[in-house]
Structure 1
Amino acid sequence: MNETKGAFDSPELWSPGCIQSSTSLTSLAPPFAFGQQAMDTALNVILIVVLLVIMVSLGCTMEIAKITAHLRRPKGVAIAILAQYSIMPLTAFILGKLFQLGTPESLAILICGCCPGGNLSNIFSLALRGDMNLSVVMTACSMVLAIGLMPLLLYLYSGGLSEGDLEGKVPYKGIITSLVLMLIPCATGIILNEKKPQYTGIITKAGMVMLLLSSAAIIALSVANMGSCIMVVLSPPLLGTSALMPLTGFLLGYAVSAAFKLDDRCRRTVCMETGCQNVQLGLAILKVAFAPEIIGPLYFFPLLYLLFQLGEGFLLILAFRIHDRIKQANDAAKIICAGVDTLRAQEMKSVLRHCRNSGKPGKQYMDSAAVALTTLQAPPSAASS
């Protein structure tokens, strides 16, 4: 029996409540309730191993002096935190209203929007050639502030929505674990950069290769983990929300940092920090705060959101890499032209200096100066012909 037939014809059929009334919860409930722990464990192990290696390679690009400078003058950190905790929760709330989502869907989206920055932003900042020192400082500050800001934002935006008890459900243990998984490997990388700088290039490249290779495995396991629930999570409203949330964060994060006149590397870093949320914390809140019969297959929404963060992040990396390649080519051409102009000007000065030092320059020196002047004023192609 095809239980999803006709779903596109009637948007109401995408509602978890409708599906739960016509099918058994056993086929749609989240894995923590019905025995897919093996898949969850495999995904978590891969994520932790990849994260540890990549964060060590990220730490190899950092310098203690620059980290200290960002802490002493926290302009970039303040802008990133302001952008993240104002733009993303508001975006989640507006998209929930715009797509006319039900209460469970709106809560799932809002919880993701209120999460702090995650390690994915550090990885993307590394690939974008952003300011890695600023990136790690921002992520750490974002996670520390999440201890107070997440309950406050969820309380402010979820008024009148909650069908579960959100009070006291912020996963403080998960926040601390994320901090540890970020700071310890980064500190290891910083020490390697200070003590063994000859190996940092190899470690950084290895981290980027592991990121590319593991991304496909993570995406495949995430999709497999959704199982029969995937059609509910892939409803048009949730797809639209998942696509627009990170994109809005990326674009507005870059725009806000540009408005405050941060340099290009810092703009890229703030862009990534704003658009990337720690979806693991969102999963933890949905798991702890709501019963399976309330949240149903929407437990998987953070995974869908993660997939769009990955996809849009890779597209941004590609766009910035193409931009950098074109800019480098143009800069090289300008340097060559400037060098040619400088050389020609030096030749002209040499001829005139020779004429001047001769006392009473004869006709041959005057002719040489005139020829040199004519040659220097002509285009390079004409001069060479």
Structure 2
Amino acid sequence: MLHINDLTFRIEGRPLFEQATLAVTKGAKVGLVGRNGTGKSTLFNIIKGALSPDDGSVNLRKGARLGAVDQEVPSGPESLMETVLAADKERNALMREAETATDPMRISDIYTRLSDIDAYTAESRAGSILSGLGFSAEDQQKPCSEFSGGWRMRVALAAMLFASPDLLLLDEPTNYLDVEGSVWLESHIRNYPGTAFIVSHDRDFLNAAVTHIAHLRDKKLFSYTGDYDRFEKQLREQQRQSMSLRAKQDDERKHLESFVNRFKAKASKAKQAQSRVKRLEKMKPVATIINDPIPPIDLPSPEKSLSPPIVRFDDVSLGYDEDTTILDHLDVYVDFDDRIGILGRNGEGKSTFAKGILGMLSPKSGFIKRHKKLKIGYFAQHEI
């Protein structure tokens, strides 16, 4: 489906890829991983044709259709359903032609093709995709302009999935999805009839969705069969083997150098010493696989523990105006050493709950009690 052959690409003279090679077979679901800055998004731009390689080639199977989420998300008056349906350009063109065609043979061909591409189930399929990504049946009839940027990204993703290209390019698709949307996308990708190439830092998503891993390191691409966990095991074993070979080579090098230094001046040993010099010259260093460094995150500890509860909600209702209640009848008790994850669909009040804890939002009813010595650190979703 996709062949990357001896790809070389430089940015301001600095090589990002050097003779990188990868073959992606038809139907494979490939996760592209590597530390930040190694060129994952750049590689996608080269595949899409937005950037040109300095050397080598990127070849898509002849006639194959490539799909990627547009940078320009839909924001017009068209409904979500209309936007997604518009992504199937062949269906739309055939439907328009059917309205004006007069030749009986051509009309027959049009309706045969419409049947072949399941054109008459299009709305049902589009609705299923939108529903999986979190849009209710009512939402699907609303204009795109009524939704925020994150939700519009979901519409763009839905449109691309509905178009069903032969090769999907997905760059961090779970960044704008909630848990339910991510789980749905995992299943959809796993069962997708085409090929998918996915950049993601979401380990669970990669474990659930992909059949192969492409690891970008040392300016090259390395292919592994299996999910992310299996890739990690294979990589650790490769690291162990490379370190072992490197140690053996270092020992051999020291032994040869010692022999040469001891006997190079002796006529009786000169021939043997020269032979070992040649062996040293031919010895190629074993490349070792180094773990990608993970920068440490240092979270300071509180100066002292506080008596429980540090936060307490008693029958609390939260909302942004008199007519709208986002959260109702909340009873929450938080101890000093609790570690709490807040899960829920987008729009159901996770950030509203956090604002209630922070005091950025006053309760419409009930009361919120915070420990008098409580200090809160807050990192908002749009902080950066």
Asked if TM exceeds 0.5, the reply is no
Higher strand share: 2
TM-score, normalised by the number of residues in structure 2: 0.26
Task: Specify which structure has the bigger relative contact order, considering alpha-carbon pairs within 8 angstroms and separated by 6 or more residues.
Answer: 1
TM-score, normalised by the number of residues in structure 1: 0.26
Higher helix share: 1
